[in-house]
Structure 1
């Protein structure tokens, strides 16, 4: 019978090796077959009920809903705001695309940020002037 080495790391020497003591890597919590560790789950993945407003600098729907509440409370037919005012209301910097592309302000219900539609407004941006006018539709 061939030699059995007591140390698992000596297996590359062409001899038969003894398995490591304790549970196999595939049965250890957090370890994949082959001994690689699983990445830790993100906090939101561990608790799906948790709503994290700040996700790597990305503004989430709840923050944009602050803008919808503001427009609803204002109630005027035309509400003119600077991008800086919008930023203060939502509590987070607008993404760069809001400053560059009027399409960001499009009245598309598929856009997360288009919460103004929920309260009956359309957005008319002036990207060059960094202003937006919300018009009750």
Structure 2
């Protein structure tokens, strides 16, 4: 079980083609803070899955059928099908 499973489950419940969440909202879903790199690097929100690179968080949105587009400035993520 991944710490990002709650995010996957939340996204699986979305019926719209897109959903926008602030970092704070994502942290509330996860029940824990995002790592500092999520606030600093757009690559953390990448849609490429590389297990060796440690980007397992991407499985949460990819497995739910979404791709992420982050705005570090606004501390928000748009997930699109």
Bigger RCO (CA 8 Å, 6+ sep)? 2
Q: What is the number of residues matched between the two proteins?
A: 76
Instruction: Choose from 38, 50, 57 the match for 1:113.
Output: 57
Partner of 2:30: 90
Structure 1's unaligned 5+ residue stretches are 1-60
- Asked whether the equivalents of residues 77 and 135 of structure 1 are also in contact (C-alpha less than 8 Å), the reply is yes
- Partner-residue secondary structure (3-state), 1:87: helix
Structure label with greater radius of gyration: 1
Give the alignment's TM-score, normalised by structure 2.
Answer: 0.88
- Partner-residue secondary structure (3-state), 1:62: coil
Structure 2's unaligned 5+ residue stretches are none
Shift of residue 128, structure 1, vs aligned partner: 0.7
> What is the root-mean-square deviation in Å for CA atoms of aligned residues?
1.0
Q: Please list, as runs of the form range in 1=range in 2, the aligned pairs for 1:1-137 lying within 5 A after superposition.
A: 62-110=2-50, 111-114=55-58, 115-136=60-81
Name the one with the larger helix percent.
Answer: 2
